[in-house]
Amino acid sequence: MASAAVRVEHGERAFELSPNQPEILDTLGWILLAHGQVDRATALLRQAHLNAPDSNVIAFHYAVTLHTGGDDASAERLLQSLLKNGEPFAEKSDAEKLLDKISR
């Protein structure tokens, strides 16, 4: 469990140094989501998405936090938009699965 604490600590430190960098906001948000801190993760990923609206990975991560936080309508809209652009990204299959799950 110590390694999880180290990841959060490193993410927080990077955030202190560069609080507006979308990649850092995304990474810290994703780490916090994994640790159950959904509200803060959502806020960070919302900001990351606003700062880098063309990043498919950040958009997917933000959609996951929206879904996790219970906002399936917003998550569904974001995933539909993300998948409509047709651009490949590493989590595309996961995004399709999540959209299918939410759309049911």
pLDDT in tens, 2-48: 566 668 887 788 778 777 899 999 999 999 999 999 999 999 999 99
The pLDDT of residue 10 is 79
Check residue 7 and give its pLDDT: 82
Predicted local confidence at residue 6, as pLDDT: 63
Q: Is 86 left (phi over 0), alpha (psi -120 to 50) or beta?
A: left
Q: Residue 1: its pLDDT value, please?
A: 45
What is the domain-level CATH number for residue 61? 1.25.40.10
DSSP character at residue 21: -
Residue 59's domain spans which residues?
2-103
When pLDDT is averaged across residues 65-92 and rounded to a whole number, the result is 95
Burial of 86 (0-12, 13-18, 19+ CB in 10 A): exposed
pLDDT value of position 3? 62
Domain count of the fold of the chain: 1
